[in-house]
Amino acid sequence: MSYLTESFMQLLGRAPRKPKAEEYTPEVKQIHFYKRGEKVDLEAIRAEHMGHKSHKWRNRRWATLISVNLLFLVSYYFDVQLLEGALTGSRFIGFHMADLNSALQVMLAYKHVVLNLLIGTVTIFVLWFLLGGRTFCSWVCPYHFVAELAEKIHLKLVERKLIRNHEFHRGVRTVFYVVFAVLAVVTGYTVFETVSPTGILSRAVIYGATLALGWVAFLLLFEIFFSQRAWCRYVCPIGMTYGVVGLLSPLRVVYNVEACKHEGECRKVCEVPHVLEPVIKGRATDVTVPIGADCTRCGLCIDACPTSSLRYEIRGLNKVL
């Protein structure tokens, strides 16, 4: 239960806490003891890993994300009625699907539940429960894709000291979540859907560009020149909604402390580095530790890890992907 509580509190914006002594298992205490005196050449490990750096999971994720969004376009353009609608609300071969956050906004705004909306919500809930909550963000969301490309420019500018990255307290995302919910109730209008780059880009891919893309461009420029991944980290309520769904998801990223050299490559590439707190030397409370529900399951950390200490796992089946 402590894992669930800690994971949920991190979703709300609390910083990861340092584990108490009684939370460590005897097995991991022994591993940490031997690692204290271990001398590791981190630069040699990094240099060796760079020679055979993997992009396996990133490439699979990009291919999946592009394919899903193009499937909407193909279905609409050729009128095949395979995947109709957009990411916020769609129908796949007759099955209604409704984005959980969008459905919540609609219910709050109109103050009643439509049967098809309820059916679509249940369908999506089951899907993302099985696939791991925030997997939606990195494997399907079109804004995540363009923001990931923008992030590369941001990091280059920071590296050359042309700009400085500005961070905010992650708790502001919870504030925005409440604000968007209250606005829906008070105005009777789905305010968040108007400004959501996920919905704007999804509709633009399918139906064509609109002036709303100017807002998306502004967000990307803000993230390039001012704050890394600002929308996803500090504003977007979609991630929080799916994070809650993913608290008990069977698919997750897990960390094994035994082979880890704590060189920190995984935290450098992670969109939400606070979830990788267990990889810091001395922080893992067990030999194998699940990564928290705010993890997007993007796989960048798995690709970056030189010792294969991070991996996907299906809980209960002991199945490693």
pLDDT score of 318: 62
What is the pLDDT, as a whole number, of residue 321? 65
Distance separating alpha carbons of residues 305 and 265, to the nearest angstrom: 6
pLDDT value for 315:
82
Question: How far separated are the first and last CA of the chain, in Å rounded?
Answer: 25
Measured CA to CA, the distance from residue 288 to residue 174 in angstroms comes to 30
The dihedral through the CA atoms of 91, 206, 237, 240 has a sign that is positive
The predicted structure's pLDDT at residue 95: 78
Residue 17 CB neighbour total at 10 angstroms: 10
What pLDDT is attached to residue 1?
A: 53
Q: How high is the pLDDT of residue 14?
A: 94
Task: Find, among 56, 41, 90, the residue nearest to 198 by Cα.
Answer: 90
pLDDT at 245: 92
Return the pLDDT at 89: 84
CA atoms within 13 A on the CB side of 192: 29
DSSP 228-260: TTHIIIII-HHHHHHHHHGGG-SEEEEEE-SS-
Predicted pLDDT of residue 51: 62
Under-50 pLDDT residues of the chain: none
Per-residue model confidence (pLDDT) at position 79: 85
Contact indicator for 287, 25 with CB cutoff of 8 Å: yes
For the chain, how big is the Rg over CA atoms in Å?
A: 21
**Burial (Cβ within 10 Å: 0-12, 13-18, ≥19) of residue 204:** middle
